Amino acid sequence: MAISLLKWIDRNIEKIVILICYATMAGIIFVEVIRRFLFNQQAAWSTTIPIYLFLWVTWMGAAYNVRIRTHLRFDEFRVRMPYNAQFACLCLDAFLWIVFAAIVVVFALDQVQLSYDNFSIVQGTDDVMQWWFYLATPVAWTLLVIRALQNLSADWQTWRRGEPFTIQTSMLGE
């Protein structure tokens, strides 16, 4: 039971976070537009919280697209390469994602720590901390590394078996 739950979370975590954040953003914007035009009122935080939620949407979206192999790839060239060159490119992908993610996570954690240490509050609120939203970057980029390693493991197994690589050139297929 626990294993199947973990597998389900592994398959869906990005989608869940994106859906929750996007629905919250849309709800806030919808309600506040109505309040602004019909009642001449608006919550002071209604323009800042959706922007901070967008951090979660974008970075989790990046991790998701790495997972389904549609983020920043040039597969049109790879399908024409020899088999071992395709595998070398897939290994290079994983290596570059991990290196770039390490850089992003280190500097993002500095930003989170700075915001935490300074008790930075989201503009227009009394007690919503900015670091909660800035945490999106290191969390999602760590997940992105996990996705890159999962892809590399699958590619290694495929290469060892001598099977053709599944190179996806569309975001619609999964």
pTM over 0.85: yes
DSSP percent split of the chain into helix, strand, coil, nearest 5: 75, 0, 25
In this prediction, residue 170 carries a pLDDT of 54
Check pLDDT > 90 for residue 54: yes
Phi, psi of 96 (to 5 degrees): -65, -40
CB distance 144 to 114 below 8 Å? no
- Tens-digit pLDDT profile for residues 10-51: 999 999 999 999 999 999 999 999 999 999 999 999 999 999
What 3-state class would DSSP assign to 121?
Answer: strand
- Give the span between the Cα atoms of 71 and 68, in whole angstroms: 8
Domain boundaries, the chain: 2-161
Check pLDDT > 60 for residue 102: yes
In this prediction, residue 169 carries a pLDDT of 54
CB distance 48 to 20 below 8 Å? no
In this prediction, residue 7 carries a pLDDT of 93
57's CB contacts (< 8 A; 6+ apart) are 18, 21, 22, 25
Check pLDDT > 70 for residue 168: no
In this prediction, residue 80 carries a pLDDT of 86
Residue 129 pairs with which residues in a beta bridge?
121
**Number of Cβ within a 10 Å radius of residue 72:** 11
For residue 78, what pLDDT band results from cuts at 50, 70 and 90? confident
How confident is the prediction for the chain on average, in pLDDT?
92
Q: Identify the residue whose tokens are 């999602």.
A: 140
The alpha carbon of 144 is separated from its chain's Cα centroid by a whole number of angstroms, namely 7
For residue 172, what pLDDT band results from cuts at 50, 70 and 90? low
